[in-house]
Amino acid sequence: MPATTPAIGGGARTIISLAQPSYASVDGKMQTLFVITALAAVFTSTFSHSLPSQIETDAFIKSINEKATTWTARKNFEGWTPEQLKSLAGVIGINRGNNTLPVIHRAIQVGDIPDSFDSRQVWPFCEFTIRNQGACGSCWAFAAVEVMSDRLCIFSAGAKKFVFAPEELISCCTACGSGCQGGFLNEPFNYWMNHGIPSGGDYGSNQGCRPYTAAQTGQTPACNERCVGGYTKSWEQDIRHGIASFQVTNTVDQMQHEIMINGPVSTYMEVFEDFYSYGGGVYQHTSGNSVGGHAVKIVGWGSENGIPYWTVANSWGTGFGEGGFFRIIRGVNNVGIESYVVAGNPNTAE
């Protein structure tokens, strides 16, 4: 049976060659800025080292399952090399220059926050699709455009289902970082406001103005602000903008309130070796070393057997975790999941 590749933005793919994964099959598919910057420095350093061979080994998975009490481990990355696994974690921190996002803090009344919430159920007319970034370290771009797409649909009551193109951020947003070699969590939302982003579906979909092309090569595409041949609109006609970009105060209730009022948010997390083998349940870091920073999208929360959790959309394909989603313990900032949260609001008039 061919292995599936949870990709960096949306759907599991079939590996035809172990040396070169193929993504032809679309299915299978606040802490302070100082703390964040310090963490980013550690992750960048870790990112350059080789991954220990224990990741995804049968012995490592067995040891995780012997220790973990709230989640189970399984093999997700059959045939992946250490370098390919490294590429799945592509956050290099935040840009602390002039574009730091304003921090919002909203008044919340006692009883405002329900025990459970799921954006997929509250706004069923929106798609909340798991996307696939492939071999490109573009989790930071995928988490951002997924939030943008979700919120445009939510704010328009389902009238505008626009799939924003991560490739625009990866290839053209110079302030965002280094494309497939990693990016900043905050800059995509500034770019959305100031420059605009066109539509673009996943690799092989041929959907939208700028369909994703970086899944297989892992190389940053050249900036090309033109729509693909055959698309009915020009790039200028296709782009959509945000009207607000901000950082959410990093407390659980502020995060919850923002999600239930405006929709999913993009957040940072630290990837440890055990996370690659997440199979289901409420994840808590159990074993292994840090690999790097990662960006994901929180869509809701709940509890299981008394354990509070966040419901999160990953960008490693539908073959990862619970159909591409995972749950992680809530309220203790496990692996930094509550340390830096960003979002923005769409311009629904376009």
Residue 211, class by beta-carbon neighbours within 10 Å (0-12 exposed, 13-18 middle, 19+ buried)?
buried
Q: Which of 186, 262, 314, 334 is catalytic?
A: 314
314 is catalytic: yes
Q: Which of 126, 139, 173, 227 is catalytic?
A: 139
- The one-character DSSP state at 132 is B
Distant-in-sequence, close-in-space partners of 266: CB < 8 Å, separation ≥ 6: 143, 144, 146, 147, 185, 188, 295, 296, 297, 341, 342, 343
CB crowding 72-96: b at 16 or more within 10 Å, else e: ebeebbeebeeebbbbbbbbbbbbe
Residue with tokens 């969590």: 185
172 is catalytic: no
Handedness of CA 43, 47, 49, 52 (dihedral sign): positive
139 is catalytic: yes
- The one-character DSSP state at 160 is -
Q: Which of 190, 294, 334, 345 is catalytic?
A: 294
- Say how many C-beta atoms besides its own lie within 10 A of residue 47's C-beta: 20
Q: Which of 260, 257, 262 is nearest to 245 (CA)?
A: 262
- The one-character DSSP state at 277 is G
Are the C-beta atoms of residues 295 and 339 closer than 8 Å to each other?
no
**Catalytic residue positions, numbered:** 139, 294, 314
